[in-house]
Amino acid sequence: MTAEYDQNYFENGQDLGISGYKNYHWMPEITIPMAYHIVRRLGINTTDRILDYGCAKGFLVKAFNLLGFDAYGVDISEYAISQTPNDVKDKCHSIKTIDDIKSIESNWDFCIAKDV
């Protein structure tokens, strides 16, 4: 993992001028409606499989799953993946290259790359 996407990036990024993050945490009041609008706009069905490419801490993955979708996430930040909520830990994976996705799952119907 590169140092650019470490704890400071997600927790102190604004203060340090390295990212837009500050104490990045689960905000269901924002993330669940966003996931809802994404699936409506893209026409995603509950039978579709979603990959969140660059999922960070897995909050969008969590929201999709709460809404009844089969969603997974990958990110290059080992720190971010280590911080995923317990209910999606098995659905979020750290990767080093795009080829690492093949070892996790395949046959995605949609790939979301939000804020990547």
* Secondary structure letter of residue 53 according to DSSP: E
Contact 26, 59 (CB under 8 A): yes
Mean pLDDT of 64-93: 96
Between residues 97 and 49, the one the model is more confident about: 49
Q: Which pLDDT belongs to residue 74?
A: 94
On the question of pLDDT at 70 being above 70, the answer is yes
On the question of pLDDT at 3 being above 80, the answer is no
- pTM here is 0.92
% of the chain surpassing 70 pLDDT: 95
CA 10 – CA 33 distance, rounded (Å): 22
Number of residues written out for the chain? 116
On the question of pLDDT at 63 being above 90, the answer is yes
Instruction: Provide the strand spans (E) within the chain.
Output: 49-53, 70-75, 92-94, 110-112
Spell 86-103 as b/e; 16+ CB within 10 A means b: eebeebbbbbeeeeebee
Pairing of strands 70-75, 110-112: unpaired
